[in-house]
Structure 1
Amino acid sequence: MTGIGSAGDRSILRALAGLGLTVLLATDVAAGTDAAREAAVEAARAGDGAAAIVELERLHRSAPTDPAVLADLVVVLRNEGENERIVEWMEGRAPASLPDYAHMSWAGALRDQGRFADAADVLADSRHAIGPRAHLLYAAALAESGFPDQALEALPAPGTPGLDADEHTLMAYVLRIAGEPRAALRAARHALDAEPGLEDALRQRILALSGVGAAGSARRLADANPGLMSAELHATLVNDHLAAQLREALRERLRRERAGQMARRDEPVEEVLESLQVARLGMDPGGTAFRRNTHDQIFVLRELGRHAEAVALWEGLEDRDAAPPYVRRAVADGYLATREPERAGEMYAALIGESDSPDASLLTSRYFSLIEAEDYAAAAEVLERLVDETPIWLRVPEERPADTPNWERVGVEQLQAMDRAYRNRADQADAMLAERIRRAPANADLRNAHARVLRWRGWPQASVEATQLAELEAPEAADTRLNHAANARDLGDFARWEQELETLERDFPRNSRVRTLARQWEDRGRPAIRGEVEYGRTSGPDDQTGLTGDRDLRTELRLDSPWSRRNHLRAFALHRTEQGEYDDRWLRQDRVGVGLEWEALRRNAWVRLDADRQDSSQLGLAMGWSHWLNDHWNYSLEVDSRSLHTPLRASDAGLDGERLNGSVFWRASERLSAYGGLSLLRIDDGNRRVSATAGATRRLHASAHHVTEGGVDLFAERNSQPGGPYFNPRHSASGSLRLEHDWLTWRDYDRSLTQEFRVSAGMGYQADFGSAAIGDAGYHHRWQLGPRWSLHYGVGASTRVYDGDREQRYYLQAGFEGRF
């Protein structure tokens, strides 16, 4: 057996001694680290945080696996406000790698750096062990991460033991941003009870007051504590207060509307707008409060109908993409009202795309933007969606016995009907509205829409009756009063028109329909001018001269004075010429005249004195009368002592003609009309020319931009003394079928281009020569250059048989009309 003093024993002893020394050394190192760590912590407590951080970082580098060193380093760094260094040290580490007592400092640093979700992750498990303070910080991080519901679940109750005034202040903040301002008020009160002068708590109380709708109290409390709120926060309070005032102003406006106080209904809203404008002057242009104030002004301007100002304010903003939906909606309405439907439509479309279930009013606005942009196909798609997504009935709670009608659906069905009218199918709109009124007879909107369609159909008296029924339900409504004014205009009741317009301009000065009526009334006070010219060339047998000559030219120029408001009279001057080339010699009638015209109550009378420019001693007197008996029947009478209907060759032979004319016009609606006339021309040579005309027109097709009509025209004439120096058969007649098509090729509100196509074909008869085919074709452009000026021009060709010889006439026409 080997002894203790052997060489083997000595090696074992040396090995054991080495092992013991290592253990003793490690123990000594750990003890030294703990002592150094505790010394660093004590230094931090004594106020030398910088030295403590240096020592703890040194210790961490020498003992990187010691969690206590890292935890104390995080706590001291947090106490010294070194949040970035904490984040740097802890990047990529799991919460479990650090003792719980350092989690509050770690999470707090992450939160201060804006990494709210990471802060919540740090405390997700350890908060239960740490206690209420950790729950509070965790809830704050969740709320700031955009999870208010989870934040409210994690939040301790106000008054929880262990929470001091600062922590109740944080609780008030969390409750407020999580959408619970009333609970935030309670938490702020706990904080102020514990420390009455705590500014942060008072600040949260002020903001919570604003959040519960007591914006006025919040603003007064802030004003009573100057310097408490930052300039930006104070501006936010001002905006909140003004927003509350705006809500009250809108309620007051509605109350005044219902009370019939239309002229003063906008005053409360205008006062809020003025306050917003003043407040904005003191705000930082780069701040969020300034931007919100601008947004609110845009909304208020839209409410007041001041759309151009709203659009101008919007276009002055830099960060328009961040604007909330209510602002972009107001701006879209502004673009639509200022006649920029394409821009409005783009904004409406974007708003619709942002919503899973856009409201009916937004889809309606989109519809009108497309109608005004002349995109009727896309408008039809929007209307179809509007109908599909607006239910007839609204679901109600189970305790209610039955579903209730959705009155928004009534508006949608009204729009369906009006859509037909916009597409030139007023007959369908009429029928649809009548049916809906049968189901909802007390609905003033439906009755006013019906009145409007009846007027569009040419039935102002029927429209009056419909408007009177609407008046029983809504006498002060703008639509009711607008219908009264427009009906008075169409009926020639100018005193009523002026009276209605005066009150409409007072109560609804920015309403576009009111402005249109006002412009039309103003136009009656403007001088007017109208001109027409037609040049034709006729080809036929070489040895014959046509009915109108080889070449012919007709012109007419009329100047009108403004209408007198008092007696509804106006003066006019008229210059007319008729020329024709017969056998290489030009024959000419050249008349100038002056007259007086009266118009009122669907009656029109005029008298004119005219003379030949070559022989002013040859005076003529003409008079006329016209009267609409009702919405369907009109008759007119005319007498002219020296009529231009006297053939040119008769005038060249020194003959004059006196003409008597009577006509009647029947109009069932825009879809069907008929006419008839009888005239007598007594020529100085003893000839009595009696002419009769009759015809009818039927609408065959109508859509938004196309209208096609067909008709028949009949003519018969008899001369008592046939022959003579002018075309004068014993009798003649014609009958033809007519087809007309109008294509509204382009329109931009008051400006438009319409292409007109016309063709007719029939048979003509002349005594002693029998019957032959006749025809006519024409193509015209009609430009509406604005609300007061129009221009038209065109070409045409016709074929007739006179005295057995066929003639072809080609002509050019042009004309204009306007008011100065």
Structure 2
Amino acid sequence: MDGALRSLAWCLAAATGWVAPLAWADETGVSQLMQEGRSALRDDDRYLALKKFALAHAREPANREASNALADVLMQLGAPQAAANVLETPGFPVRGGQAAERVRWGAQVEEPDPTQPFAQTDAAIALLQRLATEARSATPPDREAERRSLCDLVVALRNRERWSEALALAEDLQRAAPLPAYVRLAQADAQLALERPEQALASYLAVLEADPANRQARVGLVYAQVETEDFAAAFATADALAAEGAPRKRVGASTATQPDADWLDAQLLAAQVRRYADMPLEAWQRVRPLLDAAPASPSLRWEMSAIAAARGWPRQAHHEALVAWSLAPADPTAQFELANAEWRRGYWASAAARIERMALARPTHSQVRRLQDEVSAHNDAQVLLSFAPRRAEGGGSTAPGSGMTGALRLYSPPLRENWRLLAAAEREVDKPDHETLTRNRYGAGIEGRWSDLSFELIGWSNQGLLEHGGADASVQWQPDDHWTLAADLQRFSADTPLRAIQAGVRADAYGVRIAHAWDDQHVASFSTALLDFSDGNRRWQATADYLGRIVNQPGLDVLLHPTLYASRNSLRDTAYFNPERDASFSLGVDVRHLIWRRYQRSLRQRVLANYGRYWQSGFGSGDVGGVEYSQTYSHDPRTAWEYGFAWARHIYDGDAERSLTAFIRFEQRF
């Protein structure tokens, strides 16, 4: 520490001319000073050599030998700016050192103008390009100086987030000779940013083979392991980093301690990996104690925001993001998390404006580009299409039998942020007892969406068995992150059985639902509905269910879903299935598995299995249940496909119906 302070003092003295008074106070001749300086260098005492050469240079500023010797030792001590000040014409090594130092400044020193975060780096890039050109054009060409400038240029381009240029230059240099570790690290960062995680993984490992303690390479390796979906390796690498060090450390000879930023970053990294693995509860448990101990830490706040969002708490996520931003308003991560939180919260205009401001300063940043894609997709029109043919046997005359359902819904782009127009078409076909019953519905309406409230209003024209108008109105309110209240009103409800419509009977429906989500893993709900049939029958029905996750591993979730249902009808002997009273209890298992993921693209599969008992007054009880298998492919924020099949067993008036349904659902924004 004392040596470093001496070095800094003499560097400043040499650079500013304050050595002169010391030189005249020292009567030693220049030759003797130079000899003592060279002797100090042979003894590897660069601080003493710096002192002697600085005194010699101060006594005879025109002495080139003294100037060159002083510049050389200043370069060895990492002070290229001071070295340039003592030379009349700095050469390639000194100017290259100045450029490399400017690259480091650009990465470490915050620019005063937040709209120009790369001003220092841009200047370094221009200087390095000039140096490389000069070295190439020299007579003879200075290939060593050219390569050194180009290696530093790779790092500068990486810092500037000009990923493609950085990678192309690194690959050109690599073809000529192996890259130094610091350049290979920049190459790895560019490969990761350009979504080439396998290449980045190999590059990070190569850096660590040469420099096992390189912290930046170890952190980069974690992200490459995450992007290649190797979470076991990512956990191991991140946890090894988190196990090192302590919350506080001593600096220099002082007995006082100060917070260790590297230790905190490692704890955050270990939590982030759990969040990336869709394990937000474990991530929360890691970060919550840290935040309790350091509530004014911006990095802890913005990570808590991301975790809260993953747990299904958008309001808390927004609160944490606002606090983080207030603590570090110029930090790019704080701005990104706030934009993300505003978007999830439904403050679309505010979030979009913030994202555009970020894009002006960081147009190639991967997270900014992803948010821009989400904004663009949100502002598009949307089409939803579903089709499900069904084959059934058994069930008696009141069962729906074979048939199909199909639906098409088209939404306009958002109008004045909160509104969308919609058009819809639906077709339902049942084939009981070799009859064909058909209903077609065509509708148009409007949707409104705000941060806590949404509603939809549709007018319908029903065609087929019974031509009659209808309407649906639904509203949903979320007063906080846990409660959801919903209600709906349907004139000529879609739940009216086709057997009833065949008999000229319509049903209006009135329903309410309340749900409580403790977190993303535990949700309970209760709903009740009344169907008011035009033949005088009234059907009251109620459903209570719970969804709880019992397995949460990277790429795999298993949830239990118990459900209790009961209904009662006021009228007997109708043309449609109409039990006086009935009830059922079932237990479902919901297995969700990630087959493959590559950034925004993913393929998931899901198995739903349930078994229960159904009871109907006058007919006793029997087994009911089913199995459903589906796959979902998401291509980007605009396109998603879901397809699969379902087998089910239901009971109608004591007769069991078994059905097999295939289905496909498609979503596209355009």
Shorter-chain TM-score: what band? Answer: 0.7 to 0.9
The residue that corresponds to 2:507 in the other structure is: 657
Query: What code does the residue aligned with 2:100 have?
Result: A
Query: What's the offset of the Cα at 1:475?
Result: 3.1
Cα deviation, residue 533, structure 1: 1.4
SS of the residue aligned with 2:129? Answer: helix
Deviation at 1:715, TM superposition (A): 1.6
DSSP-derived class of the 1:322 partner = coil
Q: Which residue of 2 aligns with 1:362?
A: 217
Q: Residues 127-146 of structure 1: matches in 2 within 5 Å? A: none
**SS of residue matched to 2:648:** strand
Question: 1:81: which partner in 2?
Answer: none
CA deviation vs aligned residue, 1:220-247 (integer Å, no higher than 9, x gap): 998x77xxx9xxxx54444233224434
Normalised to the residue count of structure 2, the TM-score between the two structures is: 0.86
Is the contact made by 1:175 and 1:184 (CA closer than 8 Å) also made in structure 2? no
Q: Is the 8 A contact 2:581 2:616 kept in 1?
A: yes
3-state SS of 2:641 partner = strand
TM-score (norm. length: structure 1)? 0.71
Per the TM alignment, residue 795 of structure 1 is displaced from its structure 2 partner at its CA by 1.4
Structure 1: unaligned runs, 5 residues or longer: 1-156
Q: What is the CA-CA distance between 1:358 and the residue it aligns to?
A: 3.2
Once the two structures are superposed, the pairs formed by residues 179-198 of structure 1 within 5 Å of their partners are: 180=46, 183=49
Shift of 1:377: 1.2
Cα displacement string for residues 555-600 of structure 1 (whole angstroms, at most 9, x for unaligned residues) = 1111111112x25111111111110112222211111111111111
Residue in 2 that maps onto 1:152: none
2:584 is paired with a residue whose SS is strand
> Are 1:296 and 1:327, in contact at CA under 8 Å, matched by a contact in 2?
yes
- Quick one: distance in 2 between partners of 1:616 and 1:522? 42
Report if aligned partners of 1:665, 1:675 keep a CA contact under 8 Å in 2.
yes
* Counterpart-to-counterpart distance in 2, 1:475 and 1:193: 50
User: Does the 8 Å CA contact 1:699/1:709 hold for their aligned counterparts?
Assistant: yes
1:663 deviates by 1.4
Q: Counterpart in 2 of 1:458?
A: 312
- Residues 1:561 and 1:172: Cα distance change in structure 2 (over 3 Å): farther
Q: Secondary structure at the match of 1:700?
A: strand
Q: 1:268 aligns with which of 120, 128, 131?
A: 120
Q: Structure 1 residue 484 and structure 2 residue 338: aligned? A: yes
Which of 796, 800, 803 aligns to 2:653? It is 803
Map of 1:309 onto structure 2? 165
- Contact residue 782 and residue 793 of structure 1 kept, 8 A: yes
**How far 1:374 moved relative to its partner?**
0.5
Q: Secondary structure at the match of 2:618?
A: coil
What is the CA–CA distance in structure 1 between the aligned matches of 2:99 and 2:348, rounded to whole Å? 45
Mark the runs of 5 or more structure 2 residues left unpaired by the alignment. Answer: 1-27
- Cα distance in 2 for partners of 1:158, 1:714 equals 100
Alignment-derived partner of residue 423 in structure 1? 277
TM-superposed deviation, 1:616: 11
Which one of the candidate residues 218, 242, 257 is aligned to 2:99? 242
Q: 2:299 matched to which residue of 1?
A: 445
Q: Which amino acid aligns with 1:553?
A: M
1:235 to 1:342, Cα distance in 2 relative to 1, 3 A:
same
Which residue of 1 is the match for residue 605 of structure 2? 755
More strand per residue: 2
Higher mean alpha-carbon deviation, 666-675 vs 488-497, is at 488-497
1:300, CA displacement in angstroms? 1.0
CA contact (8 A) 2:181 2:210 kept: no
Relative contact order, higher structure (CA 8 A, sep 6+): 2
**How far apart, in 2, do the equivalents of 1:195 and 1:706 lie?**
72
The answer on whether the counterparts of 2:302 and 2:334 sit within 8 Å (CA) in structure 1 is yes
Give the stretch that moved more between structures: 463-472 or 303-312.
Answer: 463-472
Aligned ranges for residues 136-285 of structure 1 at < 5 Å? 180=46, 183=49, 215=80, 234-250=91-107, 253-254=109-110, 256=112, 261-284=113-136
In structure 1, what is the Cα distance between the partners aligned to 2:335 and 2:150? 34
Distance in 1 (CA, whole Å) between partners of 2:659 and 2:371 is 43
Offset from partner CA, 1:453-480 (integer Å, 9 cap, x none): 1121111222233334434532332333
How far 1:404 sits from its partner (Å)? 4.7
- CA–CA separation in structure 2 for the residues paired with 1:806 and 1:246: 75
Write out per-residue CA displacement over residues 528-557 of structure 1, whole angstroms, 9 at most, x where no aligned residue: 11111111111227xx346222x1100111
- When residues 693 and 654 of structure 1 are mapped into structure 2, their CA distance, relative to the original with a 3 A threshold, is same
Match of 2:564?
714
Matched, 1:553 2:377: no
Aligned ranges 1:692-707 → 2 under 5 Å = 692-707=542-557
Change (3 A) 1:206 1:540: same
User: Kindly, what percent of the aligned residue pairs are identical?
Assistant: 26
Q: What letter matches 2:408 in structure 1?
A: L
CA distance in 2, matches of 1:616, 1:503: 55
Deviations 1:343-389 (A, max 9, x none): 11111112222225333x33222111111111011112212321333
- 481 and 205 in structure 1: CA distance in 2 versus 1, 3 angstrom threshold: closer
Query: Residues 187, 490 of structure 1: CA spacing in aligned structure 2 closer, same or farther, 3 A cutoff?
Result: closer
Map of 2:21 onto structure 1: none
> Does structure 1 conserve the Cα–Cα contact (< 8 Å) formed by 2:466 and 2:504?
no
Structure 2: how far apart are the matches of 1:736 and 1:237?
78
CA contact (8 A) 2:509 2:529 kept: yes
Distance 1:600 1:396 in 2: 52
Q: Decide which moves more: 572-581 or 620-629.
A: 620-629
Q: Which amino acid aligns with 1:342?
A: E
In 2: Cα distance, 1:754 partner to 1:722 partner: 45
Q: Kindly tell me: are residues 264 and 731 of structure 1, through their superposed partners in 2, closer, same or farther at Cα, counting changes over 3 Å?
A: same
Q: Does 1:400 align with 2:254?
A: yes
Instruction: Report the alpha carbon displacement of residue 184 of structure 1 after superposing the two structures with TM.
Output: 8.2
Aligned to 1:337: 193
Query: In structure 2, do the counterparts of structure 1 residues 354 and 179 end up closer, same or farther at CA, with 3 Å as the change threshold?
Result: farther
Partner residue in 2 for 1:495? 349
Query: What do residues 101-148 of structure 1 show as CA deviations (whole Å, max 9, x unaligned)?
Result: xxxxxxxxxxxxxxxxxxxxxxxxxxxxxxxxxxxxxxxxxxxxxxxx
Distance of 1:340 and 1:437 partners within structure 2: 34
CA gap of 1:357–1:245, structure 2 versus 1, over 3 A, is closer
Alpha-carbon RMSD across the aligned residues, in angstroms, is 3.4
The size of the alignment, in residue pairs, is: 639
Q: Which residue of 2 aligns with 1:121?
A: none
Alpha-carbon distance in structure 2 between the residues aligned to 1:357 and 1:194:
45
Is the contact made by 1:698 and 1:711 (CA closer than 8 Å) also made in structure 2?
yes
